[in-house]
Each structure stands twice: as C-alpha cells, then as structure tokens.
Amino acid sequence: MANKDLAKKIANLIRPIITVMGYELWGCEMHLSGRYSLLRVYIDVLPCSPQKSVSLEDCTKVSNQISALLDVEDPISGGYQLEVSSPGLDRPLFELEQYRRFIGDTVQIKLSKAELGRRNYTGRIESVTQDTVVINVLNQNFEIPITNIDKANLVAKI
C-alpha cells in the first residue's frame, strides 16, 4: 500500500475521535523507511473555536487517544513513531477544501510528475475546481490536477 493511501486510510480511522475531542484533523503523512516509519498527524482548532491555535497539551491529549485506537486497529505493519503536531504557519495542504480556504495566499507545490517541464511551482492560489488547483506564478495561471500534487505547503506570511 502506498504511503498516501495508507495515510488516507489512517485519517479516515482517526478523524471521528479527533472530531469528538473538539479538534479538526488537518491531515496525515506516512513516511516509511525500512523498520523506522513515522506517522505524522496534523490537528488544528475548529474554525469556530475561540482558541487560536493548538497547544502542546492538545497534541499530547490527541496523541494518547489515537495511539490507543491505532494499537487496537493496527493499520500499520511493523513499528512506527507517532507524531501529533499543529500544521504551523507553513501548513501542508492535503484536500481541495484546504486549498479553497487559502485562495489568495501563496503556496509551494511539488508535483508527482512534471508538467510543462516543471515539478515545482510557487504562486498564489487563484481558484479551486472539483479536481484542480489554479495558481498564479508571475502573472501566468497554471491548472494543476489535485491527483498530481505530491506535496503542497503554504508560504508563511512574515
């Protein structure tokens, strides 16, 4: 099973418990490297929450709960390290809805396979359709299929 597929499977498994705890599951990343695998889970406060950001205590509480669930469900073969974190200022983007939330912001995108001879794009998110993200790079729009995005992060505003 590919890393992204496993990460999606785990996200679907843990999302209900994170939601019940009052947080939003922002996304999951699975990094498999031999016997040393890393499951990184990003959580955020709910958009309606008076709390502005996730604290270390929040991450610890969520980590304890999903760790117990993963021990029972056992979706990852072999040993792994669980890391629960805030998405941070340069938050990764996983789903189309997340791109929609940040229309007008700058994003760095790495493609799975090159388009127009490039794999890396940095530009402003212009729009999002059912299956593409349109970004503006130096006054030129590029339509990028969501299925070809390997990794995307917001560029932190300083």
Residues 61-110: tens digit of each pLDDT: 999 999 999 989 888 877 889 999 999 999 999 999 999 999 999 999 99
What is the model's pTM? 0.88
Residue 46 forms part of a structural domain: yes
Residue 142 shares a structural domain with residue 74: no
Mean pLDDT, to the nearest integer, of 24-38? 88
Residue 112 shares a structural domain with residue 72: no
Q: CA torsion sign, 98 to 102 to 103 to 106? A: negative
State which of 85, 112, 144 marks the end of a domain: 85
Q: How far is CA 94 from CA 43, 60, 135, in A?
A: 12, 22, 16
Q: What is the pLDDT of residue 113?
A: 94
Q: Could you list the residue range(s) of the whole structural domain that residue 141 is in?
A: 96-154
Residue 117 shares a structural domain with residue 142: yes
Q: How far apart are CA 158 and CA 156, in angstroms?
A: 6
